[in-house]
């Protein structure tokens, strides 16, 4: 039987070998919507998807789908935010991995791609939001160099708790390496 007697490392290698990476396009943005609906407790605004498509036209690495056996198992969506004269910041709007695929290094690979994008853009930092009680996400991000920059009360209108942490880290791999 497949999977019997295989160790965690063997399953992880097998999953990595069979991953397909694709840029989000108008033809597959419905897959991103479906993935987000199944993984995240919030419904993303249509404006996010339009922003992703606009950004991907110029920079395909800014939004990626990761598939295994033709099923989307991970997603990444980033947006550069210009701040006048200062270097831009990279906002990680979506970084998610399907529950059955967590612990296989996919999240770390997605985050590495976000850091590479931030470096290409000349961004000094990157940031994202995490629901205040999402301990799994907090552990993932803090192990990878993020820290709580601030707490935003009532960030999530339809969730309890409604507060979010804004997490931030340097965009430089040298000062904040990614651990898979």
Catalytic residues: 91, 129
Secondary structure (DSSP) of 1-28: -TTTT--HHHHHHHHHHTEEEEE--TTT
Sheet of 19-23: strands edge to edge? 19-23, 63-68, 71-83, 86-97, 125-131, 164-170, 147-152
Calpha distance 95→136 (Å, rounded): 13
Residue 61 carries which DSSP code? G
∠ CA 149-154-156, rounded to 5°: 95
Helices (H), 122-161: 135-142
Pair type for strands 71-83 and 125-131: unpaired
19-23 and 63-68 beta bridge pairing: antiparallel
> How far apart, in whole angstroms, are the C-alpha atoms of residue 114 and residue 125?
11
């Amino acid at each position: 039987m497949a999977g019997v007697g295989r160790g965690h490392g063997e399953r992880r290698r097998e999953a990595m070998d069979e991953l397909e990476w694709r840029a989000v396009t108008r033809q597959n943005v419905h897959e991103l919507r479906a993935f987000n609906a199944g993984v995240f407790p919030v419904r993303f605004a249509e404006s996010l998807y339009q922003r992703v498509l606009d950004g991907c036209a110029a920079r395909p690495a800014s939004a990626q789908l990761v598939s295994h056996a033709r099923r989307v198992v991970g997603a990444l969506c980033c947006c550069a935010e210009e701040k006048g004269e200062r270097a831009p910041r990279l906002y990680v709007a979506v970084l998610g991995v399907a529950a059955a695929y967590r612990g296989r290094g996919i999240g770390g690979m997605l985050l590495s791609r976000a850091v590479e994008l931030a470096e290409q853009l000349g961004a000094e930092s990157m940031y994202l939001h995490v629901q205040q009680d999402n301990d799994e996400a907090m552990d993932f991000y803090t192990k990878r160099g993020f820290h709580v920059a601030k707490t935003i009360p009532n960030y999530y209108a339809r969730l309890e708790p409604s507060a979010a942490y804004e997490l931030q880290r340097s965009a430089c791999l040298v000062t904040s390496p990614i651990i898979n």
